[in-house]
């Protein structure tokens, strides 16, 4: 999905940050897709994602979404989203999904060379590739790089710059740990692609 493309950061900082979407299509395979989406969720959970959720659920796992309750809502859902920090985990997810053959469209995001290589290793050929062209325009109006690295992990812009800056100040003052800060920052993003592992590492930097 295009809104996950713009995760900001240097290439070396974007390793081990993978987004995952399973999406049905209206008038094609959405009707009756609940059992297939539950199977996909089961596979995702078997590999311990950092986070998961969807906008139809209204919140992510990091914001208190219960996996069992979430599974029960998938008859009326259009997809499942999640994120991973481990390359081997996303590779195993794709391997299991290939075997399950649900017929649901799968979109995996990350550094393009890594995604293509993972697909090759599991015997898949990418159908389509979306690429981010970076940031253009008056860059001076943007927040600093550390803030952008955090806020762009929510592609819908639900994680505010002011909140991120406030969390950074709390951590610098010793009033909050990076882990607590990452958990707090994940709350506004319902899709489940906000990677708290990566956020914690960003907040640990001086």
Q: Is the pLDDT of residue 49 over 70?
A: yes
Structure confidence at residue 30 (pLDDT)? 82
- Measured in degrees and rounded to the nearest 5, phi and psi for residue 110 equal 165, -165
Sheet holding 105-109, edge to edge: 59-60, 51-54, 79-84, 18-23, 105-109
DSSP string, 43-68: HHHHT--SEEEETTTTEEGGGT--HH
Displacement of CA 67 from its chain's centroid (Å): 16
Q: Is the separation of the CB atoms in 82 and 15 below 8 Å?
A: no
What are 188-198's pLDDT values in tens digits?
Answer: 999 899 999 99
Q: Is the pLDDT of residue 181 over 70?
A: yes
Write down the pLDDT at residue 67. 96
51 closest CA partner among 204, 203, 185, 162 = 185
Each residue's pLDDT tens digit, 99-152: 999 999 999 999 999 999 999 999 999 988 888 888 899 999 999 999 999 999
Q: Would you state the CATH architecture of domain 2-121?
A: 2-Layer Sandwich (3.30)
pLDDT of residue 187 exceeding 70: yes
CA pair distance 21, 80, nearest whole angstrom: 6
Q: Residue 206 has what pLDDT? A: 64
The predicted structure's pLDDT at residue 193:
95
The span from the CA of 45 to the CA of 31, in Å, is 23
Q: How is the chain split into domains, by residue range?
A: 2-121, 139-204
pLDDT at 106: 94
How far CA 189 is from CA of 62, 83, 104, in Å, comes to 9, 12, 24
- For 8-24, write each residue's pLDDT tens digit: 998 988 989 999 999 98
DSSP assignment of 8-37 equals -S-GGGSTT-EEEEEE--TTTT-TT-HHHH
Q: What pLDDT does 132 receive?
A: 87
What is the C-alpha separation between 120 and 163, in angstroms, rounded? 40
Q: 160, 159, 162, 142: which is closest to 194 by C-alpha?
A: 159
Give the pLDDT mean for 180-187: 98
Residue bearing tokens 């697909």: 119
pLDDT band at 74, cuts 50/70/90? Answer: very high
């Amino acid at each position: 999905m295009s809104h996950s493309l713009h995760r900001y950061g240097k290439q070396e900082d974007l390793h081990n940050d993978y987004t995952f979407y399973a999406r049905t299509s209206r008038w094609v395979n959405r009707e009756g897709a609940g059992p297939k989406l539950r199977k996909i969720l089961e596979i995702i959970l078997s590999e311990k994602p950092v986070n998961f959720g969807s906008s139809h659920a209204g919140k992510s796992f990091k914001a208190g979404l219960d996996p069992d309750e979430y599974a029960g809502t998938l008859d009326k859902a259009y997809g499942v989203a999640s994120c991973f920090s481990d390359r081997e985990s996303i590779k195993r997810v794709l391997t299991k999904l290939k075997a399950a053959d649900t017929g649901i469209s799968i979109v995996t995001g990350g550094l393009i060379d890594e995604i293509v290589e993972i697909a090759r290793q599991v015997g898949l050929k990418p159908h389509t590739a979306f690429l981010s062209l970076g940031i253009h325009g008056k860059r001076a109006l943007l927040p600093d790089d550390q803030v952008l690295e955090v806020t762009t992990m929510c592609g819908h812009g639900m994680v505010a710059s002011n909140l991120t800056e406030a969390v950074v100040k709390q951590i610098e003052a010793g009033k909050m740990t990076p882990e607590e800060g990452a958990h707090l920052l994940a709350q506004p993003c319902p899709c489940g692609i906000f990677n708290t592992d990566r956020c914690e590492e960003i907040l640990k930097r001086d």
